[in-house]
Structure 1
Amino acid sequence: MDLTALQSGLDTIWVVLTAAMILLMEGGFALLEAGFVRQKNAVSIIMKVFVDITFGALIFFFFGFGLMYGEDFAGLIGTSGFLMGGDLTHIQLTISHDTYWLFQCAFVIAVISIVSGAVAERIDFRAYILFAIAMTGFIYPIAGHWIWSTGGWLGKLGMIDFAGSATIHALGGFAALAAAMLIGPRIGKFTKDGVANIVPPSNLPLASVGAFILWFGWFGFNSGSTLSATNSSIGHIAVTTMLSASAGGATCILFTMFRYRKADPPMVINGSLAGLVGITAGCAFVSDLVAIGIGAVCGIAMVFATEYLESKRIDDPVGAFAVHGVSGSIGALAVGLFARPDLTEGVGRGYSGLFYGGGFQLLGVQALGLIVVIVWGFGLTWIAFKLIGRVVRVRVSRDEELVGLDVGIHGVPAYSQEHDFIELGQLKDR
């Protein structure tokens, strides 16, 4: 048997399966966000997730993939690969370009889903569709080109972001922050004095199941980024992913018990997710103990970031910025501190973090790349929503928000009433 063909077949199966795991994370996003928001807005969450999957995949196929992975121009933008055509010979992998597109499509859908939660319960559906197009077709692909493509300027400088703590999560998190600031808080979230009112989640068990699905999908997110079924680092990546997520959740249990005198369920859920976000950049390049430390730091930072936003009267219903923006930033910088040269040899660089004798070189590159991604994600999101506001309204009306977006926008409640319709003949028989 041809060993090259066998390798290609195995890698194709691996990448398609892990891409499917990442796409399943959309179910996790849907359940998590639906559980965190009020019952009257559950359908609107589901509809936004369908926008992410449908519009996101199509726009990324039409031109997003080409801008991200097409033939490089000046390290800034791709110029081929639109509609999966043109010259893609520079993408040299053991899998087909179609298979690679599918995996990357799963990533772009995850990016826009981060923003979805931050604007929950008050964004106009048409405005969200337009922003999803902007994010999946332009904002994310350009930033991704700089870091991950052949010839991207940040990648050439040496930035390492294995599965996307900066490229996906910091970008999405700061885009979520910009959107939440621009659209404003939900009605009644803050008092006139700026004190935050508690908006109870509608279904914490549902949110928990969503988090578990996201946790499961993250093994595809991180381990699948090897793009190879025979890569010897797959096991290590899975272990660091598991340890960081566990440390984030465990730390939040203990920290909220100390801080609030009780373990706070939403914080614990987000703590585990923060650990997953934080390890995404360095899952292949740091030790198991460092992974635990990253998760723990991300868990605590998420709590403080959540409190800080509320003190500034910024309403983020699901904690998108605290989980993705803050933890993604920590994860990107952690690579510059803790990357081991024996592990980074797998990316053909052999770079060392500050605490492994590498000095400030890698840390400086990671910091530069992170700042660029943050400014790009925040700034372009702000501009996009300002432009969208010239075409359609960005926020729903007061009446629609009060009655709930499920009925006000989509015309159907998430949960039916106790009594269904009964045929007139059945009533007469009674």
Structure 2
Amino acid sequence: MMKKCLIAVCALLLLFPTIAFADDPSATTLNMGLNALWVMLAGILVLLMQGGFILLEAGSTRMKNAGHVAGKTIFTLGLGSIVYWAVGYGISFGGDASEALNKFMGLGSFFFDPAVASADGSTPTTLFFIFQLAFAAVSLSIAWGGFAERAKLSSYLIFTLFFISIIYPVIAHWIWGGGWLAKDGAQDFAGSTVVHLTGAIGALAATILLKPRIGKFNKDGSANGILGHNQVFTALAVLLLWIGWFGFNAGSTVAVGDGFFGYVAFNTQLGAAAGAVAALLISWLVTGKADITAMLNGALAGLVAITASCAFVVPWAAVVIGLVAGVLVFFSAKFFEKIKVDDPIFALSVHGAAGVWGTLANGLFATEQLAGKVGVGQAGLFYGGGWHQLGVQALSVAVCGAFAFAASFIVLWVVKQAIGFRVTEEQEIIGLDLSEHGNYGYPEQMKKAGTSA
């Protein structure tokens, strides 16, 4: 039996190249096929990160809101996909704008109608679209952290329209689409600023306008812990996101090539690992207890921080970037709580503070060799590049953060004035599952409509 199987496998291996590349058995076609498979796989991994965000937000919030968290994530992924196809992709990567306008936004490829297949040996634009859509969806899911447990479902709908059509695409164009920051040499390989900081700033605007959840802060300013209902969900979410990040970072090479995607993945793993270890140890040192939530946040912070620099730094620097991110996220969470900002899933610290640090880190640790390989910017301060790259990185953080906050705040302020942003006190107390959807995510656990979990 084993002998027959081996013969069959050998026959398939011999036949496959003939079948797959019968029309054009060239090396170019083979290379295109491998690149296309890699981009498709990476796009799937990034899309599956939405499952991680569902578990992360559901596990970090209360049982009475679990169904709402899951449902609105799928709904906004669907709506965001249509909006990105119609408008967002064209603003991010459209090439029909004048030279002056192209510095700030694309103008073309609206209602994107791609070629059926690649004719020139490059990766099909359909796959590039899927990959970039997955990134936009991640940024939107990060923003939902500021909405958690108190925003109307209608506000998710409206914010999705503006965030995916204008806010995120403009920033993506500035850095990835040939805009003015790209021409300045801003280094953000997979999106510490474009994806993570943009989403976190959207969350900041939301949480400022929504105000804290009922019971979060006392009259004297002290904070009460509002614990999530399932820490196992949260831990599983972090693992799913960690795995998805290999598509996020390594997939951003958009090519198999010489295996450079493996180096990017290697740095990604080191950054995440260092963040998890540093956060657990600092929480243990400061509080006397090894805080599981802090450790989970540290792993994500390490991933966020290494996202900008995974292709620009050597391994020891990836470890340092992760270690700093793990410590930073712990103290950042304490800071936001101290100034009475209610951030239920720590989006501002994990994606905001760590996103800023990861982007700036390139200005310190980027090597000349890797900057040349990627073809963006120059070496950082510690590798003989002087202060220039650090200045470019700081500028990109400042202008992208300012634009994302201003645009998000204006949209949400108008929503608040026009139709209301926050649910009523009664609706918040009974939970968004019942008040917004008419049913509970855990119906067997929630016996009465007025039960508070």
TM-score under structure 2 normalisation?
0.89
- Which of the numbers 57, 81, 84 marks the counterpart of 2:109? 81
Alignment-derived partner of residue 386 in structure 1: 413
Alignment-derived partner of residue 122 in structure 1: 150
Does 1:107 find its partner at 2:135? yes
> Deviation digits for residues 61-86 of structure 1, max 9, x if unmatched?
00100011001442111110101149
Alignment-derived partner of residue 358 in structure 2: 331
Equivalent AA in structure 1 for residue 78 of structure 2: T
Deviating more after overlay: 100-109 vs 389-398: 389-398
> Deviation digits for residues 367-407 of structure 1, max 9, x if unmatched?
11110111011111100101222442110011000000011
Deviating more after overlay: 390-399 vs 260-269: 390-399
Distance 1:292 1:7 in 2: 33
Does 1:235 find its partner at 2:254? no
Distance 1:29 1:338 in 2: 30
Contact 1:80 1:86 in 2 (8 A): no
- Which of the numbers 151, 157, 164 marks the counterpart of 1:136? 164
Distance 1:41 1:419 in 2: 11
- 1:361 shift after superposition: 1.1
Contact 2:146 2:202 in 1 (8 A): no
Distance 2:212 2:91 in 1: 34
Distance 1:93 1:191 in 2: 62
Distance 2:369 2:446 in 1: 65
Distance 2:270 2:92 in 1: 31
In structure 1, stretches of 5+ residues that fail to align are 421-430
> Deviation digits for residues 312-367 of structure 1, max 9, x if unmatched?
11100000000001000000000011001111122224711110000111111111
- 1:145 shift after superposition: 0.6
Q: Which runs of 4+ in 1 moved over 4 A?
A: none
In structure 2, stretches of 5+ residues that fail to align are 1-24, 448-453
Task: Give the total of aligned pairs.
Answer: 415
Contact 1:59 1:137 in 2 (8 A): yes
Alignment-derived partner of residue 52 in structure 1: 76
Distance 1:265 1:55 in 2: 34
- 1:200 shift after superposition: 1.5
Distance 2:321 2:204 in 1: 22
Does 1:261 find its partner at 2:285? no
The verdict on how the C-alpha distance between 1:349 and 1:119 changes in structure 2, with shifts beyond 3 A counting, is closer
Equivalent AA in structure 1 for residue 33 of structure 2: G
How well do the aligned residues superpose, as a CA RMSD in angstroms? Answer: 1.6
Q: How does 1:37-48 map to 2 (within 5 A)?
A: 37-48=61-72
- 1:418 shift after superposition: 6.7
- Which of the numbers 369, 372, 381 marks the counterpart of 2:399? 372
Does 1:25 find its partner at 2:52? no
Match of 1:291, SS state, is: helix
Distance 1:86 1:35 in 2: 39
Contact 2:311 2:374 in 1 (8 A): no
Equivalent AA in structure 1 for residue 249 of structure 2: N
- Which of the numbers 260, 263, 276 marks the counterpart of 1:249? 276
Alignment-derived partner of residue 188 in structure 2: 161
Alignment-derived partner of residue 38 in structure 2: 14
- 1:232 shift after superposition: 2.7
Distance 1:59 1:113 in 2: 15
What is the identity percentage for the equivalent residue pairs of Structure 1 and Structure 2?
Answer: 40
- Which of the numbers 316, 326, 347 marks the counterpart of 2:343? 316
Contact 2:377 2:389 in 1 (8 A): no
Distance 1:131 1:344 in 2: 36
Does 1:407 find its partner at 2:431? no
The verdict on how the C-alpha distance between 1:329 and 1:350 changes in structure 2, with shifts beyond 3 A counting, is closer
- 1:98 shift after superposition: 1.1
Alignment-derived partner of residue 424 in structure 1: none
TM-score under structure 1 normalisation?
0.94
Match of 1:84, SS state, is: coil
